[in-house]
Copies of this chain bind each other. A is one copy, B any other.
């Protein structure tokens, strides 16, 4: 199914694997400024959303909505930001970010805003576990 899929090295360095849905790996951005998840469809050579088949595209949409709902449930926030940019890392990946009024980039976008602030090990573990539990329960 995922023959030929290799995760981009920058995504691998910046994020931590949480779970694998039918189409996408769900990864947590290691940036304590924003609760920030990244979905990466496990298919080789995807760049644009338009590169997905209709079927895979429908699955992606379902997974985006599922993960956005989980994030909103686990992290109190004022707005969910969703984006597929890929100007720097071309491998197709979708950002789902919980935003709070007054957070480090508010009201601007998180992309390209300042430097990531890595979580402490305990905080990373604790948030990852809470997200994983919620994904399993409602997935």
Q: Interface residues, chain A, CB within 8 Å of chain B? A: 47-50, 57-58, 61, 64-65, 68-69, 72, 79-88, 90, 99, 106-109, 111-112
Number of identical monomers bound together in the oligomeric complex: 2
Interface of A is mostly: mixed
Q: Of B49, B50, B112, which is within 8 A of A108 by CB? A: B112
Chain B neighbourhood of A107, CB < 8 A = 87-88, 112
- Per the bound structure, the CA–CA distance linking A109 and B97 in Å amounts to 15
Chain B neighbourhood of A90, CB < 8 A = 79
CB distance from A64 to the nearest CB of B (A): 8
CB distance from A42 to the nearest CB of B (A): 20
- Per the bound structure, the CA–CA distance linking A83 and B86 in Å amounts to 11
